[in-house]
């Protein structure tokens, strides 16, 4: 399936504002962002989309101090928890965005700015009539292809085999991605640890953006 990458354009919008230190919602008012806008420096820009309580983002930022990690989460209680933890550990390389991640990718992230995207345990909406509610769809995959650098990766992890196969099909339909064998280990999120302890299998795929 042939598809084209849409160039990001600034979009006027009423953005949710949260006053806590470490949150970067106000940065979006100037248009699409990258690591330099959010962190004041260049560095591997890593997105944790639907970050939940932030266990993965926090661990990743601790293990990779040179990286620029943005945790995107739309539930304010979780956002505040991540922000407090980041302050507690003095993580200057972790910022938090109170926003819907598919909207952020579509309208507020610069082209070819991102090194890694992590989508971990999103709601699988298992009933067929609810599949349209899944945040991972062709539109969001197109947005990922636009914001990733060539050679950048999207990592998808779920406990739902059905959602895993759904994601595999969608990425395969995109002309911009190819499946990549895991070449490194990642910090385990809270959900991943729980599922492993319960003996529930988790399914992972890593998709690399092709060079033009």
pTM of this prediction exceeds 0.95: no
- The answer to whether the annotation marks 48 as part of a ligand binding site is yes
Give the Å distances, CA to CA, from 201 to 41, 154, 181, 183: 39, 20, 18, 20
C-alpha–C-alpha distance, residues 207 and 101, integer Å: 18
Are the C-beta atoms of residues 96 and 24 closer than 8 Å to each other?
Answer: yes
203-209 sheet: strands from edge to edge = 94-98, 68-73, 45-49, 114-120, 148-158, 203-209, 177-180
Check pLDDT > 50 for residue 94: yes
Residue 132: what pLDDT?
Answer: 72
C-alpha–C-alpha distance, residues 88 and 6, integer Å: 39
- The answer to whether the annotation marks 162 as part of a ligand binding site is no
Check pLDDT > 70 for residue 13: no
Domains defined for the chain, CATH in brackets:
25-209 (3.40.50.150)
- Residue found by looking up tokens 């599949």 in the block: 131
Average pLDDT of the residues in 153-170: 94
Residue 200: what pLDDT?
Answer: 96
* Coil vs helix vs strand at 109: strand
Average pLDDT of the residues in 85-94: 94
Kindly name the residue from 3, 111, 123, 162 that is annotated as catalytic.
123
Are the C-beta atoms of residues 195 and 204 closer than 8 Å to each other?
Answer: no
C-alpha–C-alpha distance, residues 23 and 80, integer Å: 9
- The answer to whether the annotation marks 188 as part of a ligand binding site is no
Averaged confidence pLDDT in the chain: 88
- The answer to whether the annotation marks 127 as part of a ligand binding site is yes
Average pLDDT of the residues in 80-87: 93
Closest CA to 15 of 94, 87, 74, 65: 74
Determine whether 111 is an active site residue: no
Residue 3: what pLDDT?
Answer: 52
Of all helices (H) and strands (E), which one includes residue 114? strand 114-120
């Amino acid at each position: 399936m042939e598809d084209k990458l849409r160039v990001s354009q600034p979009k006027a919008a009423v953005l949710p504002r949260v006053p806590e230190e470490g949150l970067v919602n106000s940065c979006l008012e100037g248009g699409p962002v990258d690591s330099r806008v959010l962190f004041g420096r260049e560095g591997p820009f890593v997105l944790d989309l639907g970050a939940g309580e932030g266990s993965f983002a926090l661990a990743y930022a601790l293990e990779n101090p040179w990286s620029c990690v943005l945790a995107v989460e739309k539930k304010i209680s979780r956002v505040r928890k991540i922000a407090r933890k980041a302050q507690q550990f003095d993580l200057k390389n972790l910022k938090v965005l109170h926003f819907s991640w598919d909207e952020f990718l579509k309208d507020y992230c610069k082209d070819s700015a991102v090194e890694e995207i992590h989508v971990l345990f999103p709601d699988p909406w298992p009933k067929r009539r609810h599949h349209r509610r899944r945040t991972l769809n062709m539109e969001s995959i197109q947005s990922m292809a636009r914001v990733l650098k060539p050679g950048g990766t999207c990592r998808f992890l779920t406990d739902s085999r059905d959602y895993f196969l759904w994601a595999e099909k969608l990425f395969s339909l995109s002309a911009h991605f190819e499946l990549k064998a895991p070449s490194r280990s990642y910090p385990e999120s809270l959900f991943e640890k729980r599922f492993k302890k319960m003996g529930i299998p988790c399914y992972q795929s890593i998709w690399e953006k092709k060079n033009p």
